[in-house]
Amino acid sequence: MRKPLAGIWALMFAALACNAINQAWTTSSPSQSAVATVVAQTMQAVERAAGTPSAALATPALTSPSPSATPMAVVKAVSYCRTGPGENYKSLTDLKADQEAALLGKDATGDYWLIVSPAGECWVAAQDVAITGSTQNVPEVTAPPSTSQGVPAAPGSLYYNYSCASLTQAAVTLTWQDAADNETGYRVYRNGTLLAELPANSTTYTDDTSRGPGRIFSYSVEAFNSSGTSPQRTTGGFRLSNCANP
């Protein structure tokens, strides 16, 4: 429609121009410069009328907003996914390393994320996952009522083996079963003295120690959380009698 309208306007102005020129000749005998001025002004009006249409008539370009990616939690290592945002909530399921889950919400402290796991909705510690995508629109979710979790179960099936690097040095390696699902970590003792405090899900520890004639070794392992400690699992006393010298 733009080109036909422009043509109509041009024809109308051209007709007006001719009429203006005729009137000029009729009313008087104008000079050639006066006629030229009338023609020039008329042609400028024609050119403006036939020029680029008003910007108001232009059709605006339509743009579609790009969809935002769903933020995801990528599990760094084996972790618990709990019924609430805290260690005092029961573990609902174990999450495996590199497992991905969609984010549903966060707690007020920002220490836990609410995710969708194969076992259902559950809470995972923020330190145990890496986040992909924007979390700007992830809502804050009110935590469910807290319940006492109780002390964790005692470690099971505690074993030891050893090797000797020299006449004075030995390495004793302990392995045990991770029987608890609500522990904060494990503590390892040698002859009643605390050696190490390990993270949750730990199942082994190696003690590099000195050896001597007739020395007796005894190791114990316990699980712990905010409610207390489990019963200890112990190896009983033993000597490095079968340790071969290098």
* Model pLDDT, residue 32: 54
| Per-position DSSP letters for 154-194, written without gaps between them | PPEEEEEEEEESSSSEEEEEEEEE---SS-SEEEEEETTEE
Report the alpha-carbon distance of residue 235 to residue 78 in Å, rounded.
Answer: 27
CATH code matching the domain that covers 156-239, chosen among 3.30.390.30, 3.40.50.720, 2.60.40.10, 3.30.450.40:
2.60.40.10
Please name which of 15, 48, 44, 20 lies closest in space to residue 34, comparing C-alpha atoms: 20
User: In sequence order, what are the residues at sequence separation of 6 or more whose Cβ sits closer than 8 angstroms to the Cβ of residue 27?
Assistant: none
For the four alpha carbons of 190, 194, 196 and 197, in that order, the dihedral sign comes to: positive
* Model pLDDT, residue 179: 93
Kindly report the pTM of this predicted structure. 0.49
State what percent of residues in the chain have pLDDT above 70. Answer: 70
The answer to whether residues 97 and 74 touch, using CB atoms and an 8 Å cutoff, is no
Please name which of 205, 178, 156 lies closest in space to residue 91, comparing C-alpha atoms: 178
User: How does pLDDT run across 119-156, given as a tens digit for each residue?
Assistant: 999 999 999 999 999 999 999 999 888 766 789 999 99
State what percent of residues in the chain have pLDDT above 90. Answer: 52
The least confident of 6-10, 148-152, 189-193, 235-239 is 6-10
**Domain parsing of the chain, residue ranges:** 2-54, 72-132, 156-239
Position 197 confidence tier, pLDDT thresholds 50, 70, 90: very high
Exposure b/e, 66-90, CB count within 10 A at least 16 = b: eeeeebbbebeeebbbbbbbbbbbe
Position 181 pLDDT exceeds 80: yes
Position 58 confidence tier, pLDDT thresholds 50, 70, 90: very low
* Model pLDDT, residue 122: 95
How buried is residue 221: exposed, middle or buried, by Cβ count under 10 Å (0-12/13-18/19+)? buried
Report the alpha-carbon distance of residue 83 to residue 120 in Å, rounded.
Answer: 10
Position 166 confidence tier, pLDDT thresholds 50, 70, 90: confident
Report the alpha-carbon distance of residue 32 to residue 165 in Å, rounded.
Answer: 119
Residue 37, strand partner residues: none
The answer to whether residues 84 and 143 touch, using CB atoms and an 8 Å cutoff, is yes
Helix or strand or coil: residue 121? strand
Mean pLDDT of 21-49: 50
In Å, how far are 113, 125, 138, 140, 191 from 87, measured between CA atoms?
13, 9, 22, 19, 30
Torsion of CA 33, 38, 39, 45, to 10 degrees: 140
Position 107 pLDDT exceeds 70: yes
The least confident of 14-18, 25-29, 99-103, 232-236 is 25-29
Please name which of 58, 74, 88 lies closest in space to residue 182, comparing C-alpha atoms: 88
Tell me the CATH number for domain 72-132: 2.30.30.40
Greater confidence (245 vs 128) lies with 128
